[in-house]
Amino acid sequence: MLRAIGVAAFEDLLQDIPPELRLRGKLKLAPPLSELEARRHLEALAGRNASANQWLSFLGGGAYDHFVPSIVDEISSRAEFYTAYTPYQPEVSQGTLQTIYEYQSLIARLTGMEISNASLYDGGTAIAEAVLMANATNGRKEVVVSGCINPMRLAVLDTYLEASGITVRRTGWKGGATDPDEIAALVTGKTSCVVIENPNFFGVVEEGCAIAAAAREKGALFVVSVDPVSLGLLAPPSEYGADIVVGEGQALGSYVSFGGPCLGFISTRKEHIRRLPGRIVGKTVDKQGRPCFCLTLQTREQHIRREKATSNICSNQALVALRAAVHLCWLGKEGMRDLATQCLSKAVYAQKELARRGFDLHFNKPYFKEFAIKLPADSERVAASLAGERILAGVPLGRFYPEAGNSLLVSVTEKRTKAEIDRLADCLADAVRGEVV
What's the helix, strand, coil split of the chain in %, to 5?
A: 45, 15, 40
Same topology for domains 56-67+332-436 and 70-328, yes or no? no
Backbone phi, then psi, for 69, in 5-degree steps? -60, 145
Given the DSSP bridges, would you call strands 291-298 and 279-285 parallel, antiparallel or unpaired? antiparallel
- pLDDT below 70 — which residues of the chain? 85-92, 298-310, 436-437
Burial of 285 (0-12, 13-18, 19+ CB in 10 A): exposed
Give how far Cα 16 sits from Cα of 21, 168, 184, Å.
Answer: 11, 37, 51
- pTM of the complete model: 0.90
Residue 222: the pLDDT is 98
Annotated domain spans of the chain = 56-67+332-436, 70-328
Three-class SS of residue 8?
coil
Residue 303: the pLDDT is 58
What is the Cα–Cα distance from 34 to 160, expressed in whole angstroms?
Answer: 47
Residue 52: the pLDDT is 84
Residue 110: the pLDDT is 97
Three-state SS letters, 254-307? CCCECCECCCEEEEECHHHHHHCCCEEEEEEECCCCCEEEEEEEECECCCCCHH
> What's the CATH code, domain 70-328?
3.40.640.10
Backbone phi, then psi, for 50, in 5-degree steps? -85, 130
Q: How many residues does the chain have?
A: 437
Over the stretch 14-70, which tens digit does the pLDDT of each residue have?
A: 889 998 898 888 888 889 999 999 999 999 999 898 888 889 999 999 999 999 999
Contact 363, 175 (CB under 8 A): yes
Residue 34: the pLDDT is 97
Three-class SS of residue 94?
helix
For residues 218-227, one letter each, b for 16 or more C-beta atoms within 10 angstroms of the residue's C-beta and e for the rest, the string is: bebbbbbbbb
What is the Cα–Cα distance from 7 to 19, expressed in whole angstroms?
Answer: 19
Residue 301: the pLDDT is 47
Residue 22: the pLDDT is 87
Options 1.10.1270.20, 3.90.1150.10, 3.40.50.150, 3.30.420.10; CATH of 56-67+332-436? 3.90.1150.10
